Amino acid sequence: MNTCDNQTPLAGKRILLGVTGGIAAYKSAELCRLLIQAGAELRVAMTDAALEFIRPLTFQALTGQPVASSLFQGEAGNAMEHIELARWAELILVAPATADFIARLVEGQGDNLLLATILASKAPLALAPAMNQQMWAAASTRDNLQRLRHRDVLIWGPEAGEQACGDQGLGRLREPSDLLEDVIDFFAPGPLEGRRVLITAGPTREAIDPVRFLSNRSSGKMGYALAQAAWRAGAEVLLVSGPTCLERPDGVERIDVISAEEMRRAVLEQLPGQDIFIACAAVADYRPRQPARDKIKKQSERLTLELERTPDILAEVAARPNRPFCVGFAAETQELEHYARDKLAGKKLDMIAANRVDGDDGAFEGDDNELAVFWDDGAIELPRQPKTRIARELIAIIADQFSRRRP
């Protein structure tokens, strides 16, 4: 457990400061000093262009650590420094981030130590751009930043004002003291700190015979994004997942299940002590009444399967005494609010998030989603955006409503 007080709000936080080649690189030294003063464990990585603006010795003296700048001549002597740094960092902050560096990052290039480290790291990435105002306004820079935002990269700044080149406008590096505040905010306890959240995600598969099943098009992406967002908001998160191709989100515990009945059992077993239950899984509504023990042969022209209803996991959880705060999902093709509010009342939920699944918008399989969220005396529309981002917004709404009802 890290110790933390007002003087050292970043105590024990492992931050990699990346410095790229812009005139604002000199300000990184001040940022470095402020971060260390706030208690952070700091390592610095510089690009070759940054070395033209400021000497590594400055950072070495401030951090007491060697500065990483070469992919091949690092301390470890085995060309593995980028991997070691990538695993070590809890946050990578590139300040200043030049237009060129941003473009390379978008492309996924890894031909310098800092880019390779970012590629190899699961740590959140924040950029503090600094460049001439015309470069900042350039269509290519705008596009690149948009693409990075979609990948969940944090963009801090830039500021408007007088620039080193004499121009006025947006493009100045955010002040080191403001960047320090951004970093402190980033590490501040989230609204779900100390809470336990149980989430179901993905489809279920209902066996027809040993090799065939009934399922649906759910990718699990929304549930996984919610799990990640809830963890980032400070919660202890347990994900009960149907079959998906997705990796376990960082920090999240996952139980894999196949069928609706397996999902039900896992959820009920894990339920005690959970504060919030988010049922995001597209649980199959029906299953073959009697799955065949052997593979069904294609003998007859027609085959009739008798189906029965699966257990409604969410309704069962919501009907329990001392139940957690219950959030459901509703995928509808029409009359969104009407059906969503019906489910909210019918299943006795605290909140429901509804999305339209008609047309080609790919809400089930795609990377984007839009939601209409309803609760007893309120509603909010979350416009179309990447599932990772919409998940963060939905978690913030859930945390807010949860704290109002169960202070």
The residues annotated with a catalytic role in the active site are 165
Check binding of 330 to ligand C5P (CB under 6 A).
Answer: yes
**Contact string (CB under 6 A) for ligand C5P, positions 247-266, x = contact:** -------------x------
Asked whether 194 and 230 are in contact (CB, 8 A), the reply is no
Amino acid, res. 314: L
Q: Which stretch binds ligand C5P (CB under 6 A): 40-48, 117-125, 208-216, 325-333?
A: 325-333
- Sequence-separated (6 or more) residues with CB below 8 Å from residue 191: 233, 234, 396, 399, 400, 403
What secondary structure does DSSP assign to 41-60, as a single string? EEEEEE-HHHHTTS-HHHHH
In the complex with ligand C5P, which residue's Cβ is closer, 43 or 343?
343
From the CB of 223, what's the least distance to ligand C5P, in Å?
9
Which one of 343, 351, 387, 401 is in contact with ligand C5P (CB under 6 A)? 343
Check binding of 279 to ligand C5P (CB under 6 A).
Answer: yes
In the complex with ligand C5P, which residue's Cβ is closer, 98 or 355?
355
Which one of 328, 351, 388, 390 is in contact with ligand C5P (CB under 6 A)? 328
* β-bridge mates for residue 332, sequence order: 356
In the complex with ligand C5P, which residue's Cβ is closer, 185 or 335?
335
Check binding of 145 to ligand C5P (CB under 6 A).
Answer: no
Check binding of 313 to ligand C5P (CB under 6 A).
Answer: yes
**Separation CA 77–CA 90 (nearest Å):** 23
* 34, two tokens: 């402020």
In the complex with ligand C5P, which residue's Cβ is closer, 43 or 287?
287
- Sequence-separated (6 or more) residues with CB below 8 Å from residue 333: 356, 357, 358
Asked whether 62 and 37 are in contact (CB, 8 A), the reply is no
258-284: b (≥16 Cβ within 10 Å) or e? bbbebbbebbeebbeebbbbbbbbbbb
Bridge-based pairing of strands 378-386 and 368-375 is antiparallel
- Of 174-233, binders to ligand C5P (CB under 6 A) are 200
From the CB of 177, what's the least distance to ligand C5P, in Å?
45
In the complex with ligand C5P, which residue's Cβ is closer, 183 or 314?
314
From the CB of 310, what's the least distance to ligand C5P, in Å?
4
* Residue ranges with strand state E in 25-123: 41-46, 91-97
Asked whether 110 and 83 are in contact (CB, 8 A), the reply is no
**Separation CA 91–CA 279 (nearest Å):** 30
From the CB of 63, what's the least distance to ligand C5P, in Å?
48
In the complex with ligand C5P, which residue's Cβ is closer, 172 or 343?
343
From the CB of 382, what's the least distance to ligand C5P, in Å?
16
Check binding of 329 to ligand C5P (CB under 6 A).
Answer: yes
What does the binding site for ligand C5P look like in residue numbers (CB under 6 A)? Answer: 200, 260, 279, 281, 283, 285, 310-314, 328-330, 343
